[in-house]
């Protein structure tokens, strides 16, 4: 069974993330969307809320599981019996950062491979950071995220999105 782990903070999960998981679901037997608890990042949404939202948004994909993790990614991947890390690439800047991670992960766990997918072109400009910024100013984020995510962001930032 080919199990891929798609890690991220998903703060919040966007239509770009969803597109990537939908396309990857045809390539792998099982995908674990792993919501990271990064102690170095301040997140707008709690880990539990990010897991809940991702679960709702991805519920239409039968071979996807959503959970959180608070360990080294390579340890989590091994614990879950996977050998593949799935990552999205939008820009050259993403590639430079991801290339560093691949090298580090390969040293930590040589048996784990990283697979990159690019989002659909019409979604390639979407990032969680930009969605949070737009939401913080009361902007309409409905074109970038699922309706349940837009509602959760509206409730979190306290503005009418």
In the block, which residue shows the tokens 């090298």?
103
Looking only at the bridges linking them, the beta strands covering 113-117 and 30-36 are unpaired
17 noted as active-site residue: yes
Of the candidates 8, 12, 5, 6, the residue with the CA atom closest to the CA atom of residue 146: 12
| Gap between the Cα atoms of 73 and 160, Å rounded | 36
Name residue 33's beta-bridge partners: 6, 66
122 noted as active-site residue: no
Beta strand segments in 75-132, E: 84-88, 113-117
Element (H or E) spanning 69, and its range? strand 64-69
Catalytic residue among 78, 83, 90, 106: 90
Catalytic residue among 25, 50, 87, 128: 128
Catalytic residue among 17, 87, 132, 146: 17
55 noted as active-site residue: no
23 noted as active-site residue: no
- Active-site residues: which are they? 17, 41, 90, 128
């Amino acid at each position: 069974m080919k199990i891929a782990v798609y890690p991220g903070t998903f703060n919040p999960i966007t239509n770009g993330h969803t597109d990537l998981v939908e396309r990857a679901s045809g390539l792998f037997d099982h995908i674990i969307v792993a919501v990271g608890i990064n102690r170095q990042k301040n997140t707008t949404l709690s880990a539990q809320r990010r897991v809940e939202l991702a679960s709702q948004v991805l519920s239409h994909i039968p071979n996807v599981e959503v959970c959180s993790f608070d360990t080294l990614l390579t340890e989590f991947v091994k614990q879950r019996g996977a050998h593949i890390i799935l990552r999205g690439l939008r820009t050259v800047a993403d590639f430079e950062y991801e290339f560093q991670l691949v090298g580090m992960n390969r040293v930590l766990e040589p048996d784990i491979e990283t697979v990159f997918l690019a989002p659909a072109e019409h979604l390639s400009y979407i990032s969680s950071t930009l969605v949070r910024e737009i939401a913080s100013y009361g902007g309409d984020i409905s074109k970038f995220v699922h309706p349940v995510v837009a509602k959760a962001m509206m409730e979190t930032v306290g503005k009418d999105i």
